[in-house]
Amino acid sequence: MTASYAKAKGKHGAKETSTQNYADTIRKNFSSMVDTPKWADLNRGRGSDADSDDEFFRETTDMLEGSKRSEALSKGTLEFRKLKDLNETTHCEGTVIRSAEFHPHSAVALVAGLNGTASLFKVDGKSNPKISTVNFQNFPIRTAHFSSSGDQFFVGSQHFPHFFVYDLNSGKTMKFPWKDGDGQGCFYKFEMSPPGGTAGDLLALHGRFGAIHILSQKSKQKIFTLKMNNHVNAVAFSPDGSLLYSHGAGGEIYIWDLKAQDCIQRFVDDGSIRGTSIAVSKNNRYLAAGSDSGVVNIYNRNALTSTTQANPKPEKVVLNLTTAASNVKFNPTSEILAMGSELKENAVKMVHLPSMTVYQNFPSLNYNIKRPNCIDFSLSGGYMSIGNNRGAANLYRLKHFGNF
């Protein structure tokens, strides 16, 4: 190897191999890709606290628990940067991206679209190299999610009475038939329970006529069915997986106890005629509900269970969207609520939850996100993805939070 890095003695003289040239070239290539780490910088200052224990624990805390920051997230202006798309190396998942989701444990992302292609990418914020691509022939993917364990991902379509499961460890694809209680149904929209849920690893599938089918992620079999009075449009698990929240055509929000398989509370979403989205914050403090008018109500979840009112009032009513709120998503630290509408271009807003104010600088005026079909945050909230209707899974870096 060192023979290829030679230095000439003269115009016609013999060449001498140089290990020094080889080593310098390797260092230069490494620095251009990774940059010089702090521990390898020989010119850095050697102050009294340069290698202190406080600095060491502060750096490892940022790396392992990026969500636990000493400073509170400021309101008004959100510091972010647009990175290369998650699927920059492929752009083969179809024109309409239906899923741009981060892995529950690793720096990996899943991107899937209506042409039946699902791709896995390593998230580094620079090139986001592709890991693998899975093609589901003649199967337009409507919804795709990682399993709670992260070992598999599920894909479903609104056109077929079956779904597929891809195993990340073996690289195999498995097909499972599906029939609901009213005959042949379709497996098109579903949600996964959070990792380590008290009720187990479950899957909540939207059924027909207000039915919510609860399946086991391991056996892929139905366990039981919950029934709303109206068509179900959105469901969300509580952070511990013991409760399920559902929202639908009647504008009512249902709270279900999964162990008892019973509805423990039901109330009308304030001012809503048709609910379109719902989400619960990771700290179990907030409940966000979106409607077809674009209104997003943010409730104090503790007040819902303690109040005696049949129809509790929201803590904040957000009116920044003008079309149906199809996506609401809390970040892992419960400091940001992202909401979007897939019916209008650039219809994405971010709410600073401690102050209940909307960030005015997101989205950026010099970049069009197009129509946001899906929104997700990474493990510690450092990255945010937005899949649109132009074949791109947009990736953003949020400066305040940890690396991933």
Would you give per-residue pLDDT tens digits along the chain (404 residues)?
555 555 544 445 545 666 777 777 777 766 655 555 555 555 544 444 444 444 433 443 344 444 445 578 999 999 999 999 999 999 999 999 999 999 999 999 999 999 999 999 999 989 999 999 999 999 999 999 999 999 999 999 999 999 999 999 999 999 999 987 555 578 999 999 998 878 789 999 999 899 999 999 999 999 999 999 999 999 999 999 999 999 999 999 999 999 999 999 999 999 999 999 999 999 999 999 999 999 999 999 988 877 666 788 999 999 999 999 999 999 999 999 999 999 999 999 999 999 999 999 999 989 999 999 999 999 999 999 999 999 999 999 999 997 78
Q: Is residue 10 part of a domain?
A: no
For the four alpha carbons of 399, 64, 144 and 148, in that order, the dihedral sign comes to negative
pTM of the model: 0.81
Residues whose CB falls within 8 Å of the CB of residue 364, separated by 6 or more in sequence, listed in order: 82
Q: Can you give the residue range of the structural domain that contains 144?
A: 80-398
Helix H or strand E segment including 97: strand 97-102
Put residue 183 in one of left, alpha, beta given phi > 0 → left and psi -120 to 50 → alpha: left
Among residues 177, 185, 190, which one has the least CA distance to residue 101? 190
Q: Is residue 30 part of a domain?
A: no
**Distance (Å, whole) CA 104 – CA 118:** 17
Q: Please, where are the H alpha helices in 16-81? A: 19-34, 53-64
**Distance (Å, whole) CA 251 – CA 258:** 22
Q: Is residue 182 part of a domain?
A: yes
Q: Is residue 216 part of a domain?
A: yes
Q: Is residue 203 part of a domain?
A: yes
Nearest 5°: CA angle at 250, between 215 and 238? 40
A 10 A CB-CB count for 159 gives: 11
Residues whose CB falls within 8 Å of the CB of residue 14, separated by 6 or more in sequence, listed in order: none
Put residue 320 in one of left, alpha, beta given phi > 0 → left and psi -120 to 50 → alpha: alpha
Residue 360, domain CATH = 2.130.10.10
Q: Each residue of 243-300: pLDDT tens digit? A: 999 999 999 999 999 999 999 999 999 999 999 999 999 999 999 999 999 999 999 9
Q: Is residue 225 part of a domain?
A: yes
| pLDDT for the residue 40 | 57
How many CA atoms lie within 13 Å of 234's alpha carbon, on the beta-carbon side? Answer: 25
| pLDDT for the residue 56 | 36
Rg of the chain over CA atoms, in angstroms? Answer: 25
> In total, how many domains does the chain have?
1
For the four alpha carbons of 160, 162, 168 and 171, in that order, the dihedral sign comes to negative
Q: Please, where are the H alpha helices in 47-150? A: 53-64
**Distance (Å, whole) CA 33 – CA 112:** 29
Which backbone phi and psi does 303 adopt, to 5 degrees?
-70, -25
Cross-strand bridge partners of residue 386: 375, 394
| pLDDT for the residue 65 | 44
DSSP 8-state code for residue 303: H
Which backbone phi and psi does 7 adopt, to 5 degrees?
-120, 130
Q: Is residue 75 part of a domain?
A: no
Q: Is residue 4 part of a domain?
A: no
CA 331 to chain CA mean position, Å: 9
Report which residue type is found at 311: N
